[in-house]
Structure formats: structure tokens, C-alpha cells
Amino acid sequence: MPAVSAEELYANETSRLRFEAFSRLQAAAVAFGEQLPIPEIVAIGGQSDGKSSLLEAFLGFRFNVREVEMGTRRPLIVQMVHDPTAEQPRCRLQEEDSEEYGPLIMPETAVSEAIREMTDRHLRTIGAPVSAKPIVMRAEFAYCPNLTIIDTPGFILKARKGEPDSTPDDILDMVKAQARPAHRLILFLQQSSVEWCSALWMHVVQEVDPNFQRTIVVASKFDNRLKEFAERWEVDRYLSASGYLHQNVKPFFVALPKDRAMVPSGEWRSQIQQVDAGILHHLRTEVAGGFDEERFGARVGFGNLKLFLEEELARRYRDASPTMLALLQERCESAAAQLMAAEAQLNAAEDVASLRRAAMQHVFAVARRVAALLDGATDPDPAQHGLTTEEERTASTSAQWPGGASNAKPPNAGLRLYGGAAFERCLAEFQEAALELGCPAVGKDKVANVLLPQRARGGADSALLAAQEIARSSAREVLSPLLDTACARLSAVLRRAFDIAVDSASQSAEGTPLQALRPYVAFHASLRGAYQSFVGQLEEQCRSLVQHHLEAATSSFAVSLLGGVDMEEEEEAAGVQHGDEENEPPDERSAAEEGIRRLDLREPLAESQMTVPETPSPDMAFLKGGGRRHGRVLPRTTAPKGPSVGVRGAVPMGAAGSLTPGGTQTSLKGDFRAICLGSERLFARIRQAVAVQAAPATLRSAFLEPISQRLAGDLSLELFARRDEDVMGMFAASGAVAVLEASRETLARRVENLVKCKNEFQELARCL
């Protein structure tokens, strides 16, 4: 088979036309970040297997880095552009983190040093020996085809001295990532001196292309193997590689000039031709019987490899053409729609009516999201937005519950909740904290200050009234700060719901009013302030309502109603067990305790219902320790003979606290214990009525109903019920219009280039 001529190898007109359309398409894709499945070639192989030299042969000039140990440390993407007017290579490197290309690198021998400097600078920045971030080079030349080829770092078995032990694995993962896309042809190189059965890196190809449908195997440095062939059967057996490679694999055998010196591009191309011709001459003349040229001749030499790759790419281009055209049409339409939206956004930026409308839409959207969160939603990620009970306490200004109830642990305390779930858990925590609080200990001084004036007025139920007064005072003292803390904690849950709603809206802002409102910081600050004010008003209203419930529950009328309730039946119906017997002595209940319990269960007697002293009432008889009630004989605890009024027998208190109203000494010992027990029971009933029954329902309705019914309207009135000049004050962001204009210009250029690329591709697709 004759060697490929220089004209066919580097100046093929058919190939030029064939790849022209995809060259322009590739340029558009790179310039605008489009991910188009354009056929490309990725060269992989072991270290020093000749990948970089093969890339130079495709380009038609020498430029790349070659070192004994490791030359390529980053993937190098070379976009070859056939330009008949470029007799000298025109190379540019794409700048780091930019779509722009740097200045022209002249002469081409300086390209190697530019690549080395960019590589070293990047590796120093990241502190690693290799990097998966590619270097992109655009090469325009009269003697290169229109295709993209990717040079990758060579596989190594062991890291160099001073490098991390993970370097070989890092290179392996990097190369796999480059070879994995289905639109890329894999050019696998292996030195011909390595036997097929001893291939070290063939398994990498099998992982990314198990059936070798897009893999081309190349035996490089073939001239090193020629001297081992003496007879035809030896050559044919090696070239067939039968039994060692997949049945779809037809390997190529290539050798390139060994001279490492930088030579002019014309001389380099001539040397490639000479090496191809020398290999064929050796196989024909130096091997006894030659070789099966009809079978293997088309796979020997770089020229045949280059033509095969161009034909294979052309076939893939033809197969991809319908998809490419449809995708280009879709991208053009999408870009045009984005351009129209940008123009509308720019026009709206100076129109107060448009801004007002967009802002109101955003306010209503945020209000709906807040209401949805409080109703129960799964959209936000609990790991990102949810808080545990302990985290809520830390984030709240009212971290701890007052009165020693800081250890309250509600159900689901360890779950990360937000919105309505967090609201209900906080209510449960409030009830747990309330149930942990018992009636404060009462001193004898306090009991005496309440009881003795009642007794002096001659009331038969003075002990009951004293117990009621102490229970009312204790309930107000203990429950009032607890209710205030509950309001503060619940308002904190609502404030956090706003942050979650805004964050959720920003993540799905494409095509929404928020996208046009992003630059206006003053508007977003005003919206947040209006919401905080709204929640603050709700908090004050709730605090007033629950405090009113507490005042009502501790009124004398309400306490008298609670006194007629059977506590055991009430607790059984509520399903709540209380441990509020702090002041109850551990011994058996005395007759005085039993008496005050019975008093506690009666309605207070009106004046007309009371009996005269000459005919003692049942209460008086009971308190004096005599008489019968319900058929039982009550034990006598004291035996006073004097005319004491309605209390147990008096024992002088002496200097330690003897109080004798009306000149009569009266003992407080039995009354103190009975009043303490009675006040504890009444306190528990007040706590049950407020913390378990009234407050939760009130807090739900007072906090949640205004959110769902009034939030959007109140926020809109607060923000937009003002003059146009004041509204525009929220949208006076410096540079916002300039940013919109720049975005519109960028989109306009993109649309223009995509339309041009699509039209040119349609014209040139006939050549494929």
C-alpha cells in the first residue's frame, strides 16, 4: 500500500469542508459554555507512551512539553482549526476561569513554555502535583484538521518522590472522567515493545468502553519493534493481535520522529512522512516474505491513522447532524426568549407600575410560602432549615423557660423541624414546662396575712377563701412569665419561617418576579422589616390575650367555679397527672386536711345560707372536730371550750408568732397545712385551665390565623400604600440598570452567534 502523500495528509480539501461546520459549532459551544455532544478525541495511555508527540503530529508542528518522568500534569484540550491562510501556527491559551483567550503566542516554539508556566502556576495555587482542570488551547493552522483532541496525563504506578501517594489514583480518575463521555473517541496508546498480553492499562479502557465501540488502539514507537521481525509470520501474528484484544479492536501501528529538538513545522511534517515511508520499506524489504499488506497495510503508519480518524469522525458527525441541528434550534429559541425577557426587565426597571406589580407579586408569593410552611410542607430541606429544640432555645432571645422548668423535653425534641411542626412542638414544650411548675412554697406569715383578716370578719369559710387567694396569687406569679416566654418563642418560629420562605423563593426564582428584584436591597430590607413588625404586633396581641385568660382564670368567680369541680374526675378526663404535692407532709392526712378538702369541693356559702352560732353549721361542727358527715365519725383533733369562731382549737403561738385578733388567741398550725393543700389543688386546676386548655388554642388562633388571612394584605399596605416617589425609593439600586443593560447586550451577542452558527451549519451540513 503506498504511503499517504503530504497533500492528502495535511491539505485534504474534502476533510476541510467536512469539518468546517463542526469547527464553528465547537467555537460557539466553547465561547458560550454550551454542552454539545460534538465528536472529540481523547488520548490516553501510560507515561512516555507518546501521546503528546501524537498530538503534535495531528497539529503539524511541535510545541508540547516532554519530560522523562511526567510532562502532562493537566488535561490539554486542543481545538484545531483549519485555516488555509495560516502558514504559521496561531496559538492562544484560554485564560484561567474565563472564556476569553489570551494573546497570540509567537513563535510556536514558545507554546511549550506558556503551557508549563500556566500549569505550574495553577498547581502552586491548589498545592497538588496534578490537576483535573484542563488547559484549553486554540490552534489555527493551514495543515491541521478541524477537530478537538485532548491530551491527558500518563498513567503511573508509583508517585514521584515528594508527591502524595494518591497521585496515581488521582491521574486514573482524571483520565476516566475525560474518556467517559459517549461522544468522545478514545485513542489508547501503548508502546509496541510491550506485549499485548502484558498491557498494564487496557482495563481502564474496558471500564469506560466495555465493548471497544469507540476505542482505537495504537501501538506507538513501532520502529523499536521492527528489528525483532525476521519472517512474515512473525509480523503478521503481531499485527493481528489475535487472542489478546477484543474482536472489535483493529490496532494501528505508528512511529514518529525521535528528534526531540524543536524544528520548523515544515521539517516536522516532512520527517513524519519519511518515518512512515521507512517503516513500510522495512516491512517490505527487510522481512523475509514481507507482510500481509492487503490485510494490515491500511493500519501501518501515522498517515493511515490520521485519515481513519477523520473518516470515523465524519461518520459520527453525519450521525449526529440531525440531533445537532435540533439542539441548535432549541438553543437559539431559548436564547431569543431570554433576550426578550432581559429587554422587558430593563424596561420595567424604570417603570414604577411594573416595579410595584412585580414587588406585590413577590410579597404575595412569600406570604403564601410562609402560610404553606405553617400548614406543613416538605419542600425545604430539614437538614438545612430545621432546628432541634435545643437549637431553637439557643437562637431565641428567651432561651429558657422561667420558674425552674428549663429541662422541659417535648416530644420530637431531637428532630429538625420548621414552620407548623416547630410551632406545635414549641406549644408542647410550653405545656411540659407548665406542668413541671408547682405551687410555690407558702410561709406561715403569708398564710396569716390572708387568713386572719378573713377570720376576723367572722366568715365560716375563711380557710377556703385564704386557700383561694394564695392559689390565685401563686398562679399569677408563676404562669405570667411562662406565658410571656411562650409568646416570644412562638414568634421566633414565625420569624424564622420568613427566612425559610425567602430562601426557598430565591432558589426557584427563574422566571419569577424575584429575578427582576434581586438588585434592590432596600426593597428586601423593607419587606423583612414589615414582616418583623407584623409578627411583633401578633406577639403583643397574643401576650395580651393569654394574660387576660390568666387574669380571668384567677378571678374570684372563676376560682369559686373551679372549687366545685371534682379534681379526680377532671384529671382523668384530661389524661394529665400532676406532681404538685410539694408542701404535703408525708404522714397520714389529719382530720384538718380532710376537712379542708371537703370545704374545697363546696361552693362558698352565701350569707343567707349560713347558720347562727347557737345552731352550728356542718362546717363549723367539722372544723371543731365533732359531729357526723355522710355517716362517718370524724376524729377530734382539738378540744377548745371557748367560743372560738370557725377554726380548730387554738394553741398559743407565743413570741414566735402568736396572733390574737379580737383578743382571742388562735392556732395556725392545722389551718396552715390545710390551706397549703387546698391552695396547691386550686393552683393545679388554674394551671390546667390556663396552660392546657385556654392558652394553646388562643396561641394557635392568635398567631396562625392572621398569617393565613391578613399577612399578604398587611404587608402590601405597609409597603405600597404610598406615593410613586416613595415606592421608587426602595428600587434605587446604584448600577442596577447598567447591569441589566450589560446582560441584555451579552444575550444579544449570544443570540446573534448562535443563529449564525446554526445557519452556517445548515449550509455546510451537506458536506458531511
Which pLDDT belongs to residue 613?
Answer: 46
Q: Is the dihedral of CA 559, 564, 568, 571 positive or negative?
A: negative
d(CA 630, CA 97): 95
Q: Are 121 and 130 in contact (CB under 8 A)?
A: no
Which pLDDT belongs to residue 21?
Answer: 55
SS3 state of residue 576? coil
d(CA 466, CA 678): 9
Is the pLDDT score of 436 beyond 60?
A: yes
Boundaries of every domain in the chain: 37-301, 368-725
Residue that wins the pLDDT comparison between 133 and 516:
133
Give 465-482 as a DSSP string: HHHHHHHHHHHHHHHHHH
SS3 state of residue 142? coil
SS3 state of residue 756? helix
Strand partners, 300: 253
Bridge pairing between strands 252-253 and 76-82 = unpaired
Is the pLDDT score of 614 beyond 60?
A: no
Cα separations in angstroms, 709 against 487, 498, 503, 714: 20, 16, 22, 10
Helix segments in 461-555, DSSP class H? 462-507, 513-517, 521-553
Helix segments in 437-461, DSSP class H? 444-456
Residue 370 CA, distance from chain mean position: 19
Helix segments in 564-694, DSSP class H? 567-574, 591-600, 618-623, 669-687
Which pLDDT belongs to residue 207?
Answer: 92
d(CA 353, CA 753): 35
Burial class (CB in 10 A: 0-12, 13-18, 19+), 329: middle
User: Of 565, 548, 556, whose CA–CA distance to 688 is shortest?
Assistant: 565
Cα separations in angstroms, 312 against 144, 305, 768: 16, 10, 12
Which pLDDT belongs to residue 444?
Answer: 77
Q: Is the pTM of this model over 0.85?
A: no
Q: Taking the chain, what is the end-to-end CA distance rounded to the nearest angstrom?
A: 27
d(CA 498, CA 707): 11
Is the pLDDT score of 313 beyond 70?
A: yes
Instruction: Kindly state the average pLDDT of the residues 627-640.
Output: 39
Burial class (CB in 10 A: 0-12, 13-18, 19+), 161: exposed
pLDDT, tens digit (0-9, with 9 covering 90-100), for 199-212: 888 889 999 999 88
Instruction: Kindly state the average pLDDT of the residues 153-182.
Output: 89
Which pLDDT belongs to residue 25?
Answer: 57
User: Of 270, 267, 272, whose CA–CA distance to 256 is shortest?
Assistant: 272
Kindly state the cell numbers that stand for 667.
Answer: 392556732
How is residue 217 annotated by DSSP?
E
Residue that wins the pLDDT comparison between 429 and 600:
429
Which pLDDT belongs to residue 60?
Answer: 83
Residue that wins the pLDDT comparison between 586 and 360:
360
Is the pLDDT score of 223 beyond 80?
A: yes
How does 21-43 read in b/e, with b if 16+ C-beta sit within 10 Å?
bbbbbbebbbbbebebebbbbbb
SS3 percent helix, strand, coil of the chain, rounded to 5, is 60, 10, 35
Instruction: Kindly state the average pLDDT of the residues 466-483.
Output: 83
User: Of 249, 485, 486, 509, whose CA–CA distance to 362 is shortest?
Assistant: 509
In sequence order, the 6+-apart residues with CB closer than 8 A to the CB of 467 are: 596, 600, 674, 675, 678, 679, 682
Kindly state the cell numbers that stand for 562.
Answer: 373551679
pLDDT, tens digit (0-9, with 9 covering 90-100), for 24-61: 555 555 554 555 667 789 999 988 888 888 888 888 88
Kindly state the cell numbers that stand for 262.
Answer: 524543536
Residue that wins the pLDDT comparison between 130 and 762:
130
User: Of 605, 352, 563, 668, whose CA–CA distance to 460 is shortest?
Assistant: 605
Residue that wins the pLDDT comparison between 678 and 697:
697
pLDDT, tens digit (0-9, with 9 covering 90-100), for 77-87: 998 887 888 88
Q: Are 159 and 93 in contact (CB under 8 A)?
A: no
Q: Are 552 and 410 in contact (CB under 8 A)?
A: no
How is residue 197 annotated by DSSP?
G
d(CA 195, CA 348): 70
d(CA 149, CA 747): 29
C-alpha angle 488-494-500 in degrees, rounded to nearest 5: 140
Which pLDDT belongs to residue 538?
Answer: 92
Q: Are 208 and 186 in contact (CB under 8 A)?
A: yes
Band (pLDDT 50/70/90 cuts) for residue 231 is very high
Which pLDDT belongs to residue 299?
Answer: 92
Strand partners, 216: 187
**Quick check: bond before 107 cis, omega within 30?**
yes
pLDDT > 90: percent of the chain? 13
Task: Assign a CATH topology to domain 37-301.
Answer: Rossmann fold (3.40.50)
The pLDDT mean for the chain works out to: 76
Segment holding 184, helix H or strand E: strand 184-191
Instruction: Kindly state the average pLDDT of the residues 150-160.
Output: 88
Give 315-338 as a DSSP string: HHHHHHHHHHHHHHHHHHHHHHHH
The answer to which of 234-248, 429-443, 652-666 has the lowest mean pLDDT is: 652-666
Q: Are 205 and 184 in contact (CB under 8 A)?
A: no
Is the pLDDT score of 354 beyond 50?
A: yes
Instruction: Kindly state the average pLDDT of the residues 6-18.
Output: 57
Band (pLDDT 50/70/90 cuts) for residue 176 is very high
d(CA 237, CA 11): 34
Which pLDDT belongs to residue 188?
Answer: 93
Taking residue 312's Cβ as centre, other Cβ atoms within 10 Å add up to 15
Is the pLDDT score of 660 beyond 50?
A: no
Which pLDDT belongs to residue 208?
Answer: 92
Kindly state the cell numbers that stand for 62.
Answer: 511541535
In sequence order, the 6+-apart residues with CB closer than 8 A to the CB of 352 are: 724, 727, 728
User: Of 132, 88, 134, 99, whose CA–CA distance to 115 is shortest?
Assistant: 134
Strand partners, 92: 138
Sheet of 40-45, strand order: 90-93, 135-141, 76-82, 148-151, 40-45, 184-191, 215-220, 252-253
pLDDT > 70: percent of the chain? 73
The answer to which of 296-300, 563-567, 758-762 has the lowest mean pLDDT is: 563-567
